[in-house]
Structure 1
Amino acid sequence: MLKKLIILVIIGVLGVTGYFVAPKDTLTHNTNYANTKLIRFHVIANSDSPQDQLLKLKVKEQIIKEMAEELEGATTIHESRGIITKNLENIRETAVKELKRNKVEHQVRVSLDKHQFPTRRYGDIVLAAGTYEALRVEIGEGKGQNWWCVMFPPLCFIDVKSGLIDEDTKSQLKEVLTEEEYELVMSDVGENQLPLQLRSKIWDWLKASKNQIFEWAKL
Structure 2
Amino acid sequence: MNRGSRLRWLIALALLLAAATAAGMDHRHRTVAAWNPDNLVRLHVVAHSEAHRDEQAKLAVRNAVLQHYAGRIPPAPQAAAGLIRRELGRVEAVAADTLRSRGLAYGARADWTVAEFPPGAYGEMVLPGGDYRAVRLVLGSGRGGNWWCVLFPPLCFLEVAGADPSLSREELTRRLEGQPIAIRSWVWERVNRLAHRWPSWTRWREARQPAPVDGN
Instruction: Using structure 1 for the length normalisation, give the TM-score.
Output: 0.64
Does the CA contact (< 8 Å) of 2:31 and 2:127 recur in 1? no
Partner Cα distance (1:65, 1:118) in 2 = 25
Tell me what 1:187 maps to.
Answer: 184
Tell me what 2:37 maps to.
Answer: 35
Tell me what 2:148 maps to.
Answer: 148
Kindly state the Cα deviation for residue 133 of structure 1 after the two structures are TM-superposed. 0.5
Instruction: Using structure 2 for the length normalisation, give the TM-score.
Output: 0.65
Partner Cα distance (2:51, 2:97) in 1 = 20
CA deviations on 1:4-25 (whole Å, 9 max, x unpaired) are xxxxxxxxxxxxxxxxxxx9xx
Partner Cα distance (1:160, 1:120) in 2 = 14
Aligned-CA RMSD value: 2.7
Partner Cα distance (1:49, 1:174) in 2 = 39
Comparing 122-131 with 94-103, which one deviates more in the overlay?
A: 122-131
Kindly state the Cα deviation for residue 91 of structure 1 after the two structures are TM-superposed. 0.5
Does the CA contact (< 8 Å) of 1:122 and 1:163 recur in 2? no
Structure 1 SS opposite 2:72: helix
Kindly state the Cα deviation for residue 67 of structure 1 after the two structures are TM-superposed. 1.0
Partner Cα distance (1:145, 1:27) in 2 = 31
Q: Aligned runs of 1:118-129 on 2, under 5 Å?
A: 118-129=118-129
Structure 2 SS opposite 1:83: helix
Say which one has the larger Rg. 2
Does the CA contact (< 8 Å) of 1:38 and 1:153 recur in 2? yes
Partner Cα distance (2:185, 2:48) in 1 = 33
Residue 100 to residue 116, structure 1, CA distance change in 2 (3 Å): same
Partner Cα distance (1:63, 1:111) in 2 = 14
Tell me what 1:62 maps to.
Answer: 64
Partner Cα distance (2:32, 2:80) in 1 = 21
Tell me what 2:98 maps to.
Answer: 98
Does the CA contact (< 8 Å) of 2:123 and 2:166 recur in 1? no
Partner Cα distance (1:111, 1:27) in 2 = 31
Runs of 5+ consecutive residues of structure 2 not aligned to the other structure: 1-23, 187-192, 194-216
Residue 67 to residue 163, structure 1, CA distance change in 2 (3 Å): closer
Question: Could you tell me which amino acid in structure 2 is paired with residue 43 of structure 1?
Answer: V
Q: Aligned runs of 1:138-217 on 2, under 5 Å?
A: 138-159=138-159, 164-167=164-167, 169-175=168-174, 176=176, 178=178, 181-182=180-181, 184=182, 186-187=183-184
Kindly state the Cα deviation for residue 77 of structure 1 after the two structures are TM-superposed. 1.3
Comparing 84-93 with 29-38, which one deviates more in the overlay?
A: 29-38
Structure 1 SS opposite 2:115: strand
Residue 76 to residue 147, structure 1, CA distance change in 2 (3 Å): same
Runs of 5+ consecutive residues of structure 1 not aligned to the other structure: 1-22, 190-195, 197-219
Tell me what 1:110 maps to.
Answer: 110
Does the CA contact (< 8 Å) of 1:31 and 1:129 recur in 2? no
Structure 1 SS opposite 2:132: strand
Percent identity over the alignment is 27
